[in-house]
Structure 1
Amino acid sequence: MDINEDKLKEEVSSFVSSLQRLLPKKKELIVVEPRRYKTIKLCDVHAEAKNTFPKCFMGAKLIILREIMDKVKLVQQYNYGKTKENYKCYSQLIHKEMEQKSSGEGLLIDSAGSATATYREILDGAYEMRLTSRIKDLVCSETEVIFEKGNENSVGSVSCSVKDVDPNTLRMVTQWMYKVTPDVSVGTEIGLKPLAYPPTPDFSVSARYDRPSFAVSSTGNRHGLQLCLYKKFSHDLRVATIITEGCRGAPTNVSLAMHKSYQNGSELKIFVDSQRCGGFTFQRDLLFYEPHNEIRVLRLIGSALIDKQRRVRFGVGFHLDF
């Protein structure tokens, strides 16, 4: 049988084009960012410093975020090996700290069968109410209601959450951040489980000094004291240091991280700490150009971690956002 070279090239080109159509379009990438107030929220008081640190993982993972309808999103995550973070570069002393925040409404469903529904409404007096309900299975759920108000000088919120429809898990958290001067802010947090015995509240105090190129922030409570230093040397290079001291005799931990961005869209994050641990993540966007000026992107993430046992672990991830 004769093989037509032109026909073979056409078939290969058609097959490659069909694979590229499975990739998301670059213009359709969804980037969820927290709402920015003139006064920063208490849960974001250390955001710049802690975002400089990498989130190391092990194994392989594939994450696909697809928007089915206007307010419905489907998250599919496939893991091979242990992909969760086995070592924390820093501790979190504030409620909902470093959690991805989205004030929009909608339904988020993942491949594990969990569903998260969010409802948002602006009330009288510039108050914002958000109701979030998370259902993992028939017996595991979490419901949270947040009332929040912000202005030029302060941001405050009151949240109430309950897990598995169990009144004993009821928890109330109050956060408040006030701008003393244009560069200095102070904040407090009070958490309480009213039905627990004894009802011991969690109280923390935070402070932040903010400048265009650097920030110094700290938080103290009964679990420990934390100091974060963030410095932006240029638009593509930033460095952060986190010093944590526990209140139960734990040794002081000093962590240092660097975040480097490149002109081709790649990002490198590296960290080391005083416990002789270290790691890095490298992120690269692969662009696929199609006719009609369409660009599709595949995000690749590589990770390496040296833990306390001097073991080196590797991970690789693929992110698709439709």
Structure 2
Amino acid sequence: MDLTEDKLKKEVSSFVSSLQRLLPKKKDIIVIAPQILKLTRLNDVHAEAKSVFPKCFLGAKLVILREIMDKVKLIQQYNYGTSKENYKCFIPLLHNEMQPKNSSDGLLIDSAGCATATYTDVLEGAYVMRLTSKIKDLISSETELVFEKDNEKSLGSVSCVMKDVDPNSMRVVTQWMYRIRSDFSIGTEVGLKPLAYPPVPEYSLSARYEQPSFTISSTVCKSGFQVCLYKKFSPDLRIAAVVHDGNRGGTTSVGVAVHKSCRNSSEMKVFVDSMRCGGFTFQKDILFYEPQESNEVRVLRLIGSTLIDRQRRVRFGLGFNLDF
């Protein structure tokens, strides 16, 4: 077999092109910025500030999101080491805070065997009903039914959550957000387990002041309070601070984070706090251009993580995200 330089280049180019076809096409994947609504939901009252903080992890992980059909998605996650969030300088105080909102109807299946089905319907009187059912295994499940109504100056919802088909675990949560002025809103949340004895309600009060370039928000509840500050200096530079205090014997902590986006499809998030912890994540989209006749771009998202804990140990994480 006669191997010439031109033939060898052709074979290598063909092999590389075949590998590129295994990568997803260029599109917006793993959205980080919170969804902008005409009236902010109560569980998104701190969304801008908390989205600036990086989600540091350790070890190595590979996350693949693949659409099988129009209404079915499959999530595959492979971990090596400890590939989970190992540190948070703040905790959620509100129901479903920092969780994905407005998920599209359909079925979502992950590699751990957990299936999540979502169904949404619009009822009379501008009410929106959303039913979400999560099945982890044969005996572990979670069902949530939400009724939501959006007015010009207010947005309210009533949620009913039940775990493992156990009536004693049923929890009813009412959230309400009202816009007093164009730049100032207040909200309340009341949670109650009707079948618990004694039925002690959980309640919280939140406030939010927002301008085009900065936002100040706060939440006070039985377990503590939080104050969040968000400032946008430019389209590619954001900074945030979170002050958290726990009433149950906790100490006051202050965390500061910076989010910087670069023009070469990369971004970095850095945080430090008063607990002598810090870390950052660096994310970059590696683009692969196919031949001119197809005019398609393939993308591989690479994420690096570093975490410095209270013992001043430096640990690392590496991840790949693919969205087909």
Q: TM-score range by the shorter chain?
A: over 0.9
| In 1: Cα distance, 2:134 partner to 2:103 partner | 15
Contact 1:104–1:118 under 8 Å retained in 2:
yes
CA 173–47 in structure 1, closer or farther in 2 if over 3 Å, else same: same
Using the TM superposition, give the Cα deviation of residue 44 of structure 1 relative to its aligned residue in structure 2, in angstroms: 0.4
Using the TM superposition, give the Cα deviation of residue 30 of structure 1 relative to its aligned residue in structure 2, in angstroms: 7.1
Gaps of 5+ in 2: none
CA 80–32 in structure 1, closer or farther in 2 if over 3 Å, else same: same
Using the TM superposition, give the Cα deviation of residue 6 of structure 1 relative to its aligned residue in structure 2, in angstroms: 2.2
Using the TM superposition, give the Cα deviation of residue 35 of structure 1 relative to its aligned residue in structure 2, in angstroms: 5.6
Contact 2:127–2:149 under 8 Å retained in 1:
yes
Gaps of 5+ in 1: none
Aligned to 2:309: 307
| TM-score normalised by length of structure 1 | 0.97
Identity of aligned residues (%): 69
Task: Output aligned runs, 1:119-268, within 5 Å.
Answer: 119-268=119-268
Contact 1:33–1:101 under 8 Å retained in 2:
no
Using the TM superposition, give the Cα deviation of residue 31 of structure 1 relative to its aligned residue in structure 2, in angstroms: 4.9
Are residues 1:115 and 2:87 paired?
A: no
Contact 1:162–1:170 under 8 Å retained in 2:
yes
| In 1: Cα distance, 2:53 partner to 2:28 partner | 27
Contact 2:34–2:48 under 8 Å retained in 1:
no
Report the 3-state secondary structure (helix = DSSP H, G, I; strand = E; otherwise coil) of the residue aligned with 1:13: helix
Report the 3-state secondary structure (helix = DSSP H, G, I; strand = E; otherwise coil) of the residue aligned with 1:17: helix
Task: Output aligned runs, 1:6-21, within 5 Å.
Answer: 6-21=6-21
Contact 1:128–1:147 under 8 Å retained in 2:
yes
| In 2: Cα distance, 1:140 partner to 1:256 partner | 37
Report the 3-state secondary structure (helix = DSSP H, G, I; strand = E; otherwise coil) of the residue aligned with 1:281: strand
| In 2: Cα distance, 1:198 partner to 1:209 partner | 36
Aligned to 2:320: 318
Contact 1:220–1:226 under 8 Å retained in 2:
yes
- Give the counterpart letter for 2:113 in structure 1: G
Contact 1:253–1:274 under 8 Å retained in 2:
yes
Q: Deviations over 1:70-103 (max 9, x none)?
A: 1111111000011111111211101100101234
* More moved, 281-290 vs 195-204: 195-204
Corresponding pairs, count = 322
| In 2: Cα distance, 1:8 partner to 1:102 partner | 51
| In 2: Cα distance, 1:240 partner to 1:76 partner | 32
Report the 3-state secondary structure (helix = DSSP H, G, I; strand = E; otherwise coil) of the residue aligned with 1:168: helix
Report the 3-state secondary structure (helix = DSSP H, G, I; strand = E; otherwise coil) of the residue aligned with 2:181: coil
Contact 1:184–1:207 under 8 Å retained in 2:
yes
Q: Deviations over 1:144-187 (max 9, x none)?
A: 10000112201100000111111111011000000000010000
Aligned to 2:48: 48
Runs of 4+ in 1 over 6 A off after TM superposition: none
| In 1: Cα distance, 2:34 partner to 2:311 partner | 37
CA 89–28 in structure 1, closer or farther in 2 if over 3 Å, else same: closer
Aligned to 1:296: 298
Contact 1:289–1:295 under 8 Å retained in 2:
yes
| In 2: Cα distance, 1:214 partner to 1:27 partner | 29
Using the TM superposition, give the Cα deviation of residue 32 of structure 1 relative to its aligned residue in structure 2, in angstroms: 8.9
Using the TM superposition, give the Cα deviation of residue 33 of structure 1 relative to its aligned residue in structure 2, in angstroms: 7.6
- Give the counterpart letter for 1:302 in structure 2: G
Report the 3-state secondary structure (helix = DSSP H, G, I; strand = E; otherwise coil) of the residue aligned with 1:180: strand
| In 1: Cα distance, 2:29 partner to 2:244 partner | 36
Using the TM superposition, give the Cα deviation of residue 36 of structure 1 relative to its aligned residue in structure 2, in angstroms: 4.1
Using the TM superposition, give the Cα deviation of residue 201 of structure 1 relative to its aligned residue in structure 2, in angstroms: 1.1
Contact 1:37–1:150 under 8 Å retained in 2:
no
Are residues 1:95 and 2:95 paired?
A: yes
Q: Deviations over 1:185-219 (max 9, x none)?
A: 00000011111122111100000000000010000
Report the 3-state secondary structure (helix = DSSP H, G, I; strand = E; otherwise coil) of the residue aligned with 2:6: helix
| In 2: Cα distance, 1:57 partner to 1:248 partner | 27
CA 90–288 in structure 1, closer or farther in 2 if over 3 Å, else same: same
| TM-score normalised by length of structure 2 | 0.96
Contact 2:266–2:285 under 8 Å retained in 1:
yes
Contact 1:147–1:157 under 8 Å retained in 2:
yes
Q: Deviations over 1:264-283 (max 9, x none)?
A: 12111000000100000000
Contact 1:34–1:101 under 8 Å retained in 2:
no
